[in-house]
């Protein structure tokens, strides 16, 4: 008797939360690849809780063309059966409903339960680590691939670190890579309220994240040549790239750390669900070029005053975010407390179009790994850089859609299931090339010796 192969779900992708500020830019980016020659995206649907907002978002995203005929499905995170319905109808859900700490878990549960793949644009470490703790085993069993942080948080950090790492040719090895994010515009750089709210909820729940980490089994740590870099001063003047900088408490460093941990446990990377011998060789070769390093991220400004403003906002959010009344003030007056960086109704289209980012990766290490013993300081520096358009609503949709296209096209080369950070899944794929083709560039800036 012939065995029946299960029918493929009707949609390649469902964008959930497509009516949101970011969601509508994600639709716009997806439409560029819908049914175009050689694109793996043949069928798309939108989902959310409000049909008319979704219809409007589609019209906005298709403009100046008429909106294409794309199914609009209703689903609400408070109604698990509605989430099951969408997860059962698609290969992949792109989740744009945040803050993820508030709304994300039922969506992950539905995807994992139905064996659908799941990508999101979350930048909240507590959510990502909780999903890994709660859904990893079931995701492996059901063949559901769950990857958070497929936006500006944290793909540039992940791929940027790997790009820097690949410039170190043995016997040279990196010891530390510090990334410096610089946001540029001749207008204001503005983010939408949900990102600000996500950050405030992260501050409020910092203790819970520590508790979760303490409750998890200890995992392998990468072996990094040389000693860990000293903490350094709060404000750094990075003369080589002309920026003043301060630590950025984004999700990036924690996401990168999870990728490096997974790599330490799987030195050849993660085996594809159904990969060819040739692909397995390619994957192993890729990971053999990646050398782990201590990693941190800083927010940079060309002026000292700019950095003082970052610190002012950070201190205010840190202080007020730690108690309920303070949080209600922060949430009520986002523009005031963030000095205009976040607004209830987000940036204007002109502000989005005018903005861009540079992310510098300053890698320091040893010209020969044999020098890395004892207290020897790094003697070599390699600076690389990623550049691209506005981070939240242009770069993030570009990254999310390119991750989705890689997943659709190369599904057999990716792990069958599990909950992972993006770097370990997409590192050895064509993601970097695809991002380069879509406006995000990767450059080697300089290689030099360091004199102590
Ligand atoms: N990784 C990155 O770099 C990056 C960049 C941008 C954004 N983000 C994150 O993306 C998330 C969304 O940001 P945003 O600015 O787009 O927020 P937003 O404009 O508030 O959009 C939120 C979306 O979620 C939907 N939604 C809310 N509650 C829902 C529920 N119970 N059931 C179903 N849908 C629901 C909203 O639907 P309605 O339209 O019906 O209200 C809307 O479509 C935030 O967590 C933000 O931090 C991350």
Question: What global pTM score does this model have?
Answer: 0.96
Which residues contact ligand 1 via a Cβ below 6 A?
A: 17, 19-23, 48-50, 53, 76-78, 96-100, 103, 121, 123, 151-153, 192, 194-195, 198, 392, 396
pLDDT tens-digit readout, 193-214: 999 999 999 999 999 999 999 9
pLDDT on residue 66: 96
Ligand 1 atom, smallest distance to 197 CA: 47
pLDDT on residue 1: 45
5 falls in which pLDDT band (50, 70, 90)?
low
pLDDT on residue 231: 85
pLDDT tens-digit readout, 320-363: 998 999 999 999 999 999 999 999 999 999 999 999 999 999 99
- The whole-number average pLDDT for the span 384-401 is 98
d(CA 281, CA 413): 11
Q: Which residues pair with 441 in a beta bridge?
A: 387
User: Which of 76, 195, 396, 421 to mutate for ligand 1's pocket (most ligand atoms within 8 Å of CB)?
Assistant: 195
pLDDT tens-digit readout, 31-89: 999 999 999 999 999 999 999 999 999 999 999 999 999 999 999 999 999 999 999 99
Q: Whose CA is nearest to atom 33 of ligand 1?
A: 76
pLDDT on residue 4: 58
Instruction: Determine contact, residues 104/95, Cβ cutoff 8 Å.
Output: yes
Whole-number Å distance, alpha carbon 352 to ligand 1 midpoint, is 17
d(CA 191, CA 71): 29
Ligand 1 atom, smallest distance to 391 CA: 3
Whole-number Å distance, alpha carbon 404 to ligand 1 midpoint, is 18
pLDDT on residue 6: 64
**Does 11-152+400-422 carry CATH code 3.20.20.150?**
no
pLDDT tens-digit readout, 147-198: 999 999 999 999 999 999 999 999 999 999 999 999 999 998 999 999 999 9
**Mean pLDDT over each residue of the chain, to the nearest integer:** 95
Whole-number Å distance, alpha carbon 354 to ligand 1 midpoint, is 22
Q: Whose CA is nearest to atom 27 of ligand 1?
A: 97
Does the structure show a pLDDT above 70 at 26?
yes
Secondary structure of the chain as H, E, C letters: CCCCCCCCCCEEEEEECCCCHHHHHHHHHHHCCCCCCCCCCCCEEEEECCHHHHHHHHHHHHCCCCCCCCCEEECCCCCHHHHHHHHHCEEEEEECCCCHHHHCHHHHHHHHHHCCEEEECCCCHHHHHHHHHHHHHHHHHHCCEEECCCECCEHHHHHHHHHHHHCCCCCCEEEEEEEEEEEECCCCCCEEHHHHHHHHHHHHCHHHHHHHHHHCCCCCCCCCCCCCCCCCCCCEEECCCCEEEEECCCCHHHHHHHHHHHHHHCCCCCCCCCCCHHHHHHHHHHHHCCCCCEEEEEEEECCHHHHHHHHHHHHHHHHHCCCHHHHHHHHHCHHHHCCCCEECCCCCHHHHHHCEEEEEEEEEEECCHHHHCCCCCCCEEEEEEEEEECHHHHHHHHHHHHHHHHHHHCHHHCCCCEEECHHHHHCCCCHHHHHHHCCCEEEEEEEEECCC
Q: Could you give the angle at which helices 252-265 and 125-142 cross, rounded to 10 degrees?
A: 40
Ligand 1 atom, smallest distance to 192 CA: 15
Ligand 1 atom, smallest distance to 53 CA: 39
d(CA 342, CA 188): 10
pLDDT tens-digit readout, 220-249: 899 999 989 888 899 999 999 999 999 999
Strand 145-147 vs strand 117-120: parallel, antiparallel, or unpaired? parallel
Instruction: Determine contact, residues 59/28, Cβ cutoff 8 Å.
Output: no
User: Which of 16, 20, 28 to mutate for ligand 1's pocket (most ligand atoms within 8 Å of CB)?
Assistant: 20
């Amino acid at each position: 008797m012939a065995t029946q192969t299960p029918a493929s779900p009707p949609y390649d992708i469902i964008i959930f939360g497509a009516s949101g500020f970011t969601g509508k830019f994600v639709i716009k980016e997806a439409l560029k690849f819908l049914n175009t020659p050689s694109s793996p995206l043949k069928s798309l649907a939108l989902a959310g809780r409000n049909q008319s907002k979704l219809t409007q978002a589609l019209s906005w995203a298709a403009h100046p063309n008429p909106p294409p005929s794309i199914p609009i499905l209703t689903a609400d995170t408070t109604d698990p059966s509605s989430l099951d319905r969408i997860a059962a109808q698609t290969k992949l859900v792109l989740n744009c409903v945040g803050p993820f700490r508030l709304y994300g878990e039922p969506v992950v549960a539905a995807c994992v339960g139905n064996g659908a793949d799941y990508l999101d644009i979350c930048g909240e470490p507590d959510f990502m680590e909780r999903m890994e703790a709660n859904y990893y085993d079931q995701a492996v069993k059901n063949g559901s691939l769950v990857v958070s942080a497929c936006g500006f948080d944290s793909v540039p950090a992940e791929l940027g670190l790997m790009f820097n790492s690949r410039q170190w040719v043995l016997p040279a090895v990196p010891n530390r890579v510090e990334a410096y994010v610089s946001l540029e515009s001749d207008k204001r750089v503005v983010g939408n309220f949900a990102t600000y709210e996500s950050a405030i909820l992260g501050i409020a729940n910092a203790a819970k994240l520590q508790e979760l980490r303490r409750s998890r089994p200890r995992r392998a740590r990468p072996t990094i040549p040389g000693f860990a870099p000293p903490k350094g001063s709060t404000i750094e003047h990075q003369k080589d790239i002309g920026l003043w900088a301060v630590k950025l408490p984004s999700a990036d460093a924690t996401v990168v750390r999870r990728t490096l941990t997974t790599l330490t446990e799987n030195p050849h990377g993660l085996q594809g669900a159904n990969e060819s011998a040739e692909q397995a060789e390619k994957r192993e070769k890729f990971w053999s070029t990646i050398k782990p390093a201590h990693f941190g991220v800083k927010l940079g400004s060309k002026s000292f005053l700019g950095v003082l403003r970052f610190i002012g906002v950070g201190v205010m959010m840190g202080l007020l975010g730690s108690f309920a009344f303070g949080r209600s003030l922060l949430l009520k007056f986002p523009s005031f407390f963030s000095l205009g960086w976040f607004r209830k109704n987000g940036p204007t289209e002109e502000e989005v179009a005018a903005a861009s980012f540079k992310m510098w990766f300053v890698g320091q290490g040893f010209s020969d790994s044999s020098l890395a013993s004892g207290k020897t300081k790094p003697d070599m520096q390699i600076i690389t850089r990623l550049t691209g358009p506005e981070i939240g609503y242009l770069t993030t949709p570009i990254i999310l859609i390119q991750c989705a296209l890689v997943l659709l096209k190369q599904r057999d080369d990716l792990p069958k299931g599990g909950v992972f950070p993006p770097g370990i899944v997409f590192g050895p794929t064509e993601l970097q090339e695809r991002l380069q083709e879509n406006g995000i560039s990767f450059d080697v800036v300089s290689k030099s010796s360091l004199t102590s």
